[in-house]
Amino acid sequence: MTPPAPPTDLARDADALVARLVAAYPGEADPATARVVHAPGRVNLIGEHTDYNEGFVLPVAIDLGISLALVPTDDRRVDVTLAATGERDGFDLDAIGAKRSSWIDYVAGTAWALLDAGEPVSGFRAVLVSDLPQGSGLSSSAALELASSLALSGGALPAVDRMTLARLAQRAENAYVGVNCGLMDQFASAFGEPGSALLLDCRTLEHRAVRMPLEETALVVCHSGSPRRLETSAYNERRAQCEAAVATIAAVEPGVTALRDVTPAMLEAHRGRMDPLVAARAEHIVHENERVLAAVAAFEAGDLDEVGRLFAASHASMRDLFGISSPELDALVEIADGVDGVYGARLTGAGFGGCTVNLVRREAAPALREAVERDYGPRTGLHARVFEVEPSRGAAVLRG
Ligand code: GLA
C-alpha cells in the first residue's frame, strides 16, 4: 500500500527532487523555500516479533528510504505527488477523516497522531520519492510516517525527542492505519546510526548502538519477490497467540505481564496447560529474546560465526515454531547457507514473504549473488533481488 519505487535515482538527488516539486506545483512551490526531508527503511538483524512482547530487537536503519521535497504552507492543506507515477493525493489538517486504504493514510495518520498529542503541524505541498523496494518488508510505512512528521513540522525535526516521535508514528499506524505493529520499525527509522545496529529494550525503551564490523563484512538483503500474503491478519493472530500464552502463565505466575518475563524453564513448566500451537509461538519469543542478547555479545566479541549460528537458529524457529516463513524465504536461506563466506541468513521483518538478511564476508558477497541468481528461479519460479545495505542515519532534514 506504500508508494512504488521510482525509475530514477531521484531519491539521492535533492536538487532534482526540488525541480520535480516546482514542476508538480507551478506557482505554489518556490525553490528558495523548498526543503527536503528523509527517513530510512530498516532491516532487522535479529529479534523478530519480540517488540510487542516487550523484548529485545536489533534493527539497522538502511541507506534506502523515503524523501519528500516540500514547501510548507499556511493553508492547512497537505498535498503530496508521487515522483514515480505522478499520482497525487492530500487532505485537510482540520478535517483529516477516516483512512482510505492508500499510501496517503500514513501521512494522514501521522498528522492525526501529532495533532492528537498537541504538537503543531502545518500544511505543505510535496513530491515524494522512495527507493525502498515495494512490498519488501523493509519498513516503507515507518519511513513514510517519520518523513511525514518532519514535513508536517515545516520541513524540520519536530520539537519532541526522537523516542516520542517514533511512538507517535507507531500510534499513527496502530490507531489510524489499523496495523497493530510494535515499535521496532519506527524506532529504527528515527534513531539510525551510520555503521551501527541498534539494540532496543522494548520494555524500558533503553537503547544503544552496536558497531558493525563493516570493513570485513557486508549486510546483504535478498528480496524474495513473493507478496507478503495474509500479512496483517496473520500478524495480528501471532500477537493474540502470544497474549494467550501470557494469560495462561500469568494465571499462576503473578509477576508475568508479557512473554519478556517468561524464562525457558517457566515455559516448560506451563507448556502442558497450553494449546501446543500457542506454546510453540511462546517458545520462539522466549528463545529469540535470548538470541538477541547473545548476538550483541557475539558482535562485540567479534565472533561472527556465533552470530551466524544465532541467525540460523532464529530462522529455524520462525519457520518451525512461529510459522512466519515461506517456501521462498526458506529457499533463500538454504541457498545462502551453501555459500562459503556467508555467516548466516534469516528472514527479516514480519515474515510471510519479503526479504532475508545475510551476514557475509565482504569478498563472498558476489558469490552469494551468483548462487541466488542461479538457484532461486529454478526452485521457486520467482526472481529474487539481491542488494547490499549500509547502516545509515535516522530521519533527517537534507535541505533546511
Ligand atoms: C513488523 C512490525 C514490527 C515487528 C516486526 C516483526 O515489521 O511492524 O513492529 O513486530 O514486524 O519483528
- Rg of the chain's alpha carbons, rounded to an integer? 21
Cβ–ligand 1 contact at 54 (below 6 Å): no
What do you get for the CA distance between the two ends of the chain, in Å? Answer: 29
Ligand 1: which of 45, 46, 51 to mutate, most ligand atoms within 8 Å of CB?
Answer: 51
* Ligand 1 geometric centre to CA of 49 (Å): 6
Please tell me the distance from the alpha carbon of residue 359 to that of residue 307, in angstroms, as a whole number.
8
Q: Which of these is catalytic: 105, 185, 261, 330?
A: 185
Using the mean position of ligand 1's atoms as its centre, give its distance from the Cα of residue 24 in Å: 34
pLDDT for res 7:
45
Verify whether ligand 1 is closer than 6 Å to residue 46 (CB atom).
no
Residue 49 Cβ < 6 Å to ligand 1? yes
What are the backbone angles phi and psi of residue 66, rounded to the nearest 5°?
-125, 130
What burial letters (b/e) apply to 198-213, b meaning 16+ CB within 10 Å?
A: bbbbbeeeebeebebe
Rounded Cα–Cα distance for residues 243 and 238 (Å): 9
Per-residue pLDDT of the chain (400 residues; tens, 9 = 90+): 555 544 457 888 999 999 999 999 999 999 999 999 999 999 999 999 999 999 999 999 999 999 999 999 999 999 999 999 999 999 999 999 999 999 999 999 999 999 999 999 999 999 999 999 877 899 999 999 999 999 999 999 999 999 999 999 999 999 999 999 999 999 999 999 999 999 999 999 999 999 999 999 999 999 999 877 667 889 999 999 999 999 999 999 999 999 999 999 999 999 999 999 999 999 999 999 999 999 999 999 999 999 999 999 999 999 999 999 999 999 999 999 999 999 999 999 999 999 999 999 999 999 999 999 999 999 999 999 999 999 999 999 999 9
Write down the pLDDT at residue 226.
87
Indicate the pTM of the whole model.
Answer: 0.96
Nearest ligand 1 atom to the CA of 350 is 11
Residue 318 CA to its chain's centroid (Å): 17
> What pLDDT, on the 0 to 100 scale, is given for residue 2?
55
Q: Is 351 in the pocket of ligand 1 (CB under 6 A)?
A: no
Take residue 281 and report the three cell numbers written for it: 509461538
Give tens-digit pLDDT for 142-168.
999 999 999 999 999 999 999 999 999
Q: Shortest CA distance to 142 belongs to which of 65, 85, 198?
A: 65
Which segments of the chain are extended strands (E)? Answer: 35-44, 56-57, 59-73, 77-82, 88-92, 123-130, 196-201, 207-211, 217-223, 342-348, 355-361, 385-389, 396-399
* Residues 53, 232, 63, 108, CA torsion sign: negative
- Ligand 1 closest atom vs CA 52: 10
Give distance in angstroms: CA of 145 to centre of ligand 1: 15
- Check if 15 is active-site: no
Residue with cell 526531508: 37
